[in-house]
Amino acid sequence: MALVELASLQSTIGITFRDPLLLQQALTHRSYLNENPDFPLSSNERLEFLGDALLGFIVAEKLHSDLPHLWEGALTVFRAALVCNETLARIASSFQLGDYLYLGRGEEMSGGRHRQSNLSSALEAVVGAIFIDQGFAVAKEFVLGLLNGMVVKIIQEESIKDHKSKLQELVQAEQRTTPVYRIVEEKGPAHDKIFIVEVVVGDAVLGQGSGKGKRAAEQKAAQAALEHWAK
């Protein structure tokens, strides 16, 4: 992909990079470098590391400011939901970020442009690249723009479905141990997997659940466990 082809992405995200190579690096998957050793840029992993930290801070600051009545545990749950791979991949897909990724042939053939981990990592890397190129204020505005509407939606969803926290508090209070979640099965193509997860306390399986993502499946398993516990 030539740099000129990234102009449409910059138009979509509303940011024109002073150094377009930073954006190109943010989109470079390690598999591309394995097949193109003379490529002048490194992979997006360092930018991903930076963007991940920035996302966590910006989201934490917003939640702390907007939800002064919530305790630390609830804020942690909401922040995790907003910066998890599933949420970030959903946002990245909304503006076809996968179309711009530099991927190796194998990664491309196996559905890498739609893979949740690739999309979320690339979005984090783009945030990191924006911070380096434009500064914190622009990076913060970009992140909050991405999450516009998602904060309220996630809070509503988590308030209803945070069964994991409820189960953990119950188990720790009554048995002084922590529930363990383990994947039983993965079904479907790589870009659209269904995970089946069970939750175990000691040697006992308390519940099982499925979902499009490990986190969703764990919540379903915890819900089933709570229902089992109440009987």
From 48, 107, 124, 133, active-site residue: 124
From 35, 45, 48, 52, active-site residue: 52
Residues 6+ positions from 21 with CB-CB distance below 8 Å: 3, 41
Concerning whether 203 is annotated as a catalytic residue, the answer is: no
CA distance 104 to 139: 29
CA distance 201 to 133: 48
Concerning whether 124 is annotated as a catalytic residue, the answer is: yes
Partner residues linked to 182 by β-bridges: 198
CA distance 181 to 195: 12
**Alpha-helix residue ranges (DSSP H) falling in 1-147:** 7-13, 20-26, 30-35, 45-66, 72-83, 85-94, 105-109, 116-134, 136-146
CA distance 149 to 65: 16
Q: Scan for tokens 């400011």, then name that residue.
A: 65
Q: What is residue 15's three-state secondary structure?
A: coil
Catalytic residues: 52, 124
